Amino acid sequence: MTRKIKKENFLKRGYTHLESLLAPQETKDLLTLYDELLADKSKTAGLRSDLAGGGDQGNVERITQIMRPSIIEPKLLAHPAYSRALEWAQELLGKDIALDFDMFINKAPHTNTATPWHQDAAYWINMPDKRAVSCWIALDQVSEENGCMWFIDKDPENPIHPHQALPNGGALYCETDANDALSMPLSPGGCTFHDGFTLHFSRGNITSSQRRALILNFRPESMIQLQRSQGIDHTGKREFRNKNVEE
């Protein structure tokens, strides 16, 4: 599939994918940095949370999220994943697109906890230019069984759904008809790109292996500067776009 077709699919449907963004050795190099931060709860304190909401699983993180890991480990920014994803993001949405923030999300083995249906735009506050794209990079073989991404085609007539928050610091979620959802299994180094208004979801990990992913979030440079002027740098407590969202 050509770049032109991938761009057309992204603009129409709200998502597309690449079979290979990274070479095998590049993926291994990235995993070395990833695993060091994943194992170090002290170094990642304050940027780390369990998107599952915590509470009944003791100290087991079912869906570990580490926000802005490149602040802790600047070597990440020099990895080819960042420059190649940026090139694609600019191809999809324009040359003024820049990296807003990065994050790690890992689903631990045998935790079987889904990331519920949601739209990233539910987190946005006062964003005049709504162009945005997230690159979800698989660092393991990802399948429906361990938590690959699922997408529903973007609906221009219903751009943002009402969202609620899972308890105890969990992620946002919304109700939707998922009958037409499409799964995106990937090999290590493959990736998906999705728009901020695209509904997406992943099942829990029922396998004996980790499901590690690096997510790079891009938007116009002017909107990044606007966020920073409002004190939004994706390191603190998140506010929500929807007035009907409950914390």
Q: Is the pLDDT of residue 110 over 60?
A: yes
Contact 89, 97 (CB under 8 A): yes
pLDDT, tens only, 4-50: 999 999 999 999 999 999 999 999 999 999 999 999 999 999 999 99
Give pLDDT tens digits for 142-152: 999 999 999 99
What is the residue whose two structure tokens read 């790109």?
Answer: 193
pLDDT digits (tens, 9 = 90+) for 196-205: 999 999 999 9
Q: Which residue, chain included where needed, has tokens 């509470």?
A: 55
pLDDT category at 104 given cuts 50, 70, 90 is very high
Could you tell me how many residues make up the chain?
247
Distance CA 227, CA 247 (A): 21
What CA dihedral angle connects 16, 20, 21 and 27, to 10 degrees?
130
Domains defined along the chain, listed by start? 3-229 (2.60.120.620)
With 70 as the cut, is the pLDDT of residue 245 above it?
no
pTM of the model: 0.92
Above 90 in pLDDT, residue 169?
no
Q: What's residue 239's pLDDT? A: 56
